[in-house]
Amino acid sequence: MNSSVSIALVVFTLAFVLSMLVAAMIKVVYWTVRYLSSRMENRK
Amino acid sequence: MTGTDFLSLFQGVHTLLESSTAIMLARIGFMILGMLLVYLGKKGILEPLLMIPMGLGMSAVNAGVLTLSSGQQGTLFLDPLVTNQEQLFNLMQIDFLQPIYTLMFSNGLIACFVFMGIGVLLDVGYVLARPFLSMFLAICAELGTVATFPIATAMGFNANDAASISMVGGADGPMVLYTSLMLSKDLFVPIGVVAYLYLGLTYGGYPYLIKFLVPAKLRALPITEKKVIVVTSGQKLAFAVVGCTVLCLLFPVAAPLFFSLFLGVAVREAGLQYFVDFIGGPLLYGATLFLGLTLGVLCEASTILSPKVLLLLILGIIALLLSGIGGIMGGYIVYLLSGRKFNPVIGIAGVSCVPTTAKVAQKIVSEVAPNVVVLPIALGASISGVITTAILTGIYVTIIPQLKLLFPQ
């Protein structure tokens, strides 16, 4: 039982960290594409 | 003509009377349950797209049991338990749904088709507008997916089966099917059926949970948006490409599901209208039809009857209940962190039943405050729920086999 609670905690911590990394990745993608598209528009 | 000879003309009745009392009662019970599912589907209480083929399949397969040439009882629908290659080849020519089961269902292809369809329907712009908020609510709503695991092991399930039934908390049918196919092949039929039955209930059950946990005053809380965030299709496409690549890199085991979901998103955002029409129409609805039909047909009494089924039913409802509570707890955390300016009802949308839970959140809020719109934020949380459930699928499918080495029972 104790080991399964530990596994559940490890799984949740890992999932939480990964979810926040995905959120950060989404932000990075959002700003990168925004920056690139504004640069391209400025060139025109 | 004796009574037995006469009955053998009607093999369904003959096999019913010849089987053990438990099997006979279970077959009759499943026939009635199948009819009930069709009725509840027609009434709109359960999801009709799944429940009508599933219910009809359940009734028909339990009625149509006959004595096969081998002398054993069986059906002409499919045999999920066959492992011998020669026997399987013969069955492919006899059982009409065996090719669908073997070539589309048991390898997860049908789940991937459904995921492509979901991807085409998703507007990831809602997630891109508020990624941290959406992902935070979604991960809170995975409480059931995680907390059910130790409960299931305490009830006597091994780690593989416990992880599979825990995935019901993610409220995502294809993910549950995929996890149980990967981790517990013996139980994937009952787990899949339990998952799809309960997913149909979320629309009916969650409103009561929200009303119980969130007072009317907070349910009416308006959302004040500082600025409207515009997300272009280029940004959405870039997210789909990068997101798919990174998640496949992290969890190769769940790569088919990630790929299917993001393929749908990419096709939509690239503006490939012919593909969008095909994936969002014939492919999605065709896959849903055969998914419901196969799940129903798999509910043959002698296949599904196991003492574990009752436990699975209990664990499934625990998982979904805990996920709902977790989502609302997430909503409360954001409410407190935002200086009491966030409607905690939105937390329920983190449970990834796209778009059902988001619609539930909006419906409950509209009942007390018709002018308050929470749907865009709720949709963001709901779509993020698909991603967090996929992450948890990847974690379970990857680490549980490793844990077997660390904790050999």
- Per-residue model confidence as pLDDT tens digits over B375-396: 889 989 998 998 899 899 989 9
Contact B395 A33 (CB under 8 A): no
Reported ipTM: 0.93
Interface with A, mutate which of B395, B396, B404 (most A CBs under 10 A): B395
- Four-residue CA torsion sign, B283, B286, B289, B293: negative
What are the start-end ranges of the H helices in B125-187? Answer: 125-129, 131-140, 143-154, 159-166, 173-183
Q: What is the tens place of the pLDDT at every residue in A22-42?
A: 899 888 888 888 888 888 878
- Whether A23 sits inside 8 A of B135 (CB atoms) is yes
- Residue-range definition of the domain harbouring residue A13: 1-44
Nearest to B135 among A20, A29, A37 (CB): A20
Which residue out of A2, A5, A6, A7 would a mutagenesis test of the B interface target, given it has the greatest number of B Cβ atoms within 10 Å? A7
- Please name the residues in contact with B394: beta carbons below 8 A apart, sequence gap of 6 or more: B247, B250, B251, B253, B254, B258
**Tokens 């409410």 correspond to what residue?**
B335
- Report the mean per-residue pLDDT for chain B: 88
Count of structural domains, chain A = 1
CA distances from B382 to B49, B171, B286 (A): 20, 11, 24
Token pair of B161, please? 């089966």
Interface test with A, best of B130, B146, B250, B315 (most A CBs within 10 A): B146
Interface contact A3-B134, CB threshold 8 A: no
Q: Does B234 touch chain A (CB under 8 A)?
A: yes
pTM for the complete prediction?
Answer: 0.84
Residue B346 has pLDDT above 90, yes or no: yes
Q: Please tell me if residue A38 touches chain B, with a CB cutoff of 8 Å.
A: no
First to last CA, chain A: 64
The pLDDT assigned to B406 comes to 59
Mean pLDDT of B267-274: 94
Mean pLDDT is lowest, of B60-74, B285-299, B324-338, for B60-74
Could you report the per-residue pLDDT of B41-54, keeping only the tens digit for each?
898 877 888 889 99
Element (H, E) at B341: none
Contact pairs from chain A to chain B, CB under 8 Å: 96
CB contact under 8 Å between B135 and A15, yes or no, is no
Question: Which residue type is seen at B155?
Answer: M
- Interfacial B residues in 113-132 facing A (CB < 8 Å): 127-128, 131-132
User: What DSSP character marks residue B349?
Assistant: G
Q: Give the up-direction half-sphere exposure of residue B288: CA atoms within 13 A in the CB hemisphere.
A: 19
pLDDT-derived band at B364 (thresholds 50, 70, 90) equals very high
Identify which has the larger pLDDT, B146 or B82: B146
Which pLDDT belongs to residue A19? 93
pLDDT tens digits, residue range B235-262?
A: 889 889 988 898 888 777 778 888 998 9
Residue B105: closest CA among B87, B129, B123, B79? B79
